[in-house]
Chains A and B, each alone.
Chain A
Amino acid sequence: MEIEVLFFASYREKAGVKSCTFEISHGSNLKGLIDKIVQKFPKLHSDPSKIVAAINEEFSDQSQILSEGDIVALIPPVSGGSK
Chain B
Amino acid sequence: MTIEKIHVEISELKLDQSIAKNFVSSNSHGACTIFEGVTRDHSDNRKVKFLEYECYKPMAIKKLKQICEEIIEKWDVKVSILHRIGKLEIGEVSLIVATGSPHRKEGIQACEYSVDRIKEIVPIWKKEFFEGGSIWIEDENGFRPFS
Contacts and interface: CB of A to CB of B under 8 A. Distances in A.
Interface of A: 6, 8-10, 12-13, 52, 54, 57-59, 61, 73, 75-83
A80 B55 contact: yes
B118 interface: yes
Interface stretch (B16-24, B101-109, B122-130): B122-130
18 contacts: A9-B125, A9-B127, A9-B136, A12-B54, A59-B121, A77-B142, A78-B121, A78-B122, A78-B139, A80-B94, A80-B95, A80-B119, A80-B126, A81-B94, A81-B118, A81-B122, A82-B35, A83-B37
A38 B114 CA distance: 34
Contacts, number: 93
Contact of B59 (A10, A54, A76, A83): A54
| Chain B interface size range | 35 or more
B19 to A, nearest CB: 18
Contacts of B122: 78, 80-81
Contacts of A61: 146
Contacts of B127: 9
Q: Tell me the interface secondary structure of chain A in the complex.
A: loop
